[in-house]
């Protein structure tokens, strides 16, 4: 029998929300360890022509790339679940938050973090600029979460684990204690989502940086192949 499969790597920020929702609605997905940084098979490149992760292959042969599409597909497997929001407009807002986090938030965070990890060219000005731009986009979430527990409606939806998974990369590397003090509502929301059973089933221990990554050592510089 064919299983649903998700090709991704351990802790991949774009896959956490997908796997958390699958767990919540008891939709079985086998994770196939696939890491573009380690190398990809010819077979995988036929599924995902850009050589990115995640990729979903359903038990019925459905192939999906793009984490948002995969997450929405998985969440819709249980029509009783409210993961896609109680109303149609809530659903639209869920997609809106997912898109903001998967594009502007991830890109700005990556421009801050990747040079510090030595996997993108480093310049102090570039990192400083990316740090400011990250703060600007996270401020949108901070303002929104000031009087809300969840991103959309008055209940947990796909937007919460999906967006928390995406920003986990920031919390683990650069959103340190001092940074978090400027974004208390956003941080409280993140702590709430990452402590949910559905999230912990995927990431049992969430890492919060005590101090942000510093400039890379010369020995960390590589041949810069990673996008974000």
Ligand X SMILES: N[C@@H](CCC(=O)N[C@@H](CS)C(=O)NCC(=O)O)C(=O)O
Segment 163-192, which members bind ligand X (CB under 6 A)? none
HSE, CB side, 13 Å, CA atoms: give it for residue 111.
16
Q: How far is the CB of 14 from ligand X (least distance, A)?
A: 4
Closest CA to 10 of 26, 27, 29, 31: 31
In this structure, what DSSP letter does residue 219 have? G
Q: How far is the CB of 119 from ligand X (least distance, A)?
A: 10
Binding ligand X by CB under 6 A: which of 4, 102, 157, 168? 102
When asked if residue 104 is in the footprint of ligand X (CB under 6 A), the reply is no
Helix 13-24 / helix 159-173 crossing angle, nearest 10 deg: 140
Torsion of CA 8, 10, 11, 14, to 10 degrees: 0
Length of the chain: 228
Pick the closer one to ligand X by CB: 35 or 139. 35
Binding ligand X by CB under 6 A: which of 36, 58, 78, 104? 36
When asked if residue 67 is in the footprint of ligand X (CB under 6 A), the reply is yes
When asked if residue 78 is in the footprint of ligand X (CB under 6 A), the reply is no
Q: Is 85 left (phi over 0), alpha (psi -120 to 50) or beta?
A: left
Cis amide leading into 146 (omega within 30): no
Pick the closer one to ligand X by CB: 36 or 126. 36
Pick the closer one to ligand X by CB: 101 or 145. 101
Task: Give the interface segment with ligand X, choosing from 9-17, 109-117, 196-204, 205-213 (CB under 6 A).
Answer: 9-17
Pick the closer one to ligand X by CB: 191 or 228. 228
Residue 2 CA to residue 183 CA, distance in Å, equals: 44
Task: Give the interface segment with ligand X, choosing from 20-28, 84-92, 144-152, 220-228 (CB under 6 A).
Answer: 220-228
Residues that bind ligand X (CB under 6 A): 12-14, 36, 52-53, 66-67, 102, 226-228
């Amino acid at each position: 029998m064919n299983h649903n499969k998700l090709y991704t790597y351990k802790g991949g920020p774009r896959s956490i929300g997908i796997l958390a929702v699958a767990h919540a609605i008891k939709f079985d997905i086998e994770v196939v360890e696939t890491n573009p940084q380690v190398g990809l098979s010819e077979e995988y490149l036929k599924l995902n022509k850009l050589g990115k992760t995640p990729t979903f292959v359903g038990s019925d042969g459905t192939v999906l790339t793009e984490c948002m599409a995969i997450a929405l597909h998985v969440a819709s497997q249980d029509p009783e679940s409210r993961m896609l929001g109680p109303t149609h407009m809530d659903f639209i807002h869920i997609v809106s938050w997912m898109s903001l986090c998967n594009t502007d938030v991830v890109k700005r965070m990556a421009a801050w973090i990747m040079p510090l990890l030595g996997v993108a060219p480093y310049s102090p000005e570039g990192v400083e600029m990316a740090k400011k731009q990250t703060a600007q986009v996270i401020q949108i979430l901070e303002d929104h979460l000031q009087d809300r527990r969840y991103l959309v409606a008055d209940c947990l939806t796909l937007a919460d684990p999906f967006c928390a998974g995406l920003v986990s990369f920031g919390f683990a590397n650069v959103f340190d204690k001092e940074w978090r003090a400027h974004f208390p509502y956003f941080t409280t929301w993140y702590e709430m989502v990452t402590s949910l059973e559905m999230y912990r089933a995927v990431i049992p221990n969430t890492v919060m940086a005590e101090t942000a990554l510093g400039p890379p050592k010369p020995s960390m510089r590589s041949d810069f192949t990673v996008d974000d």
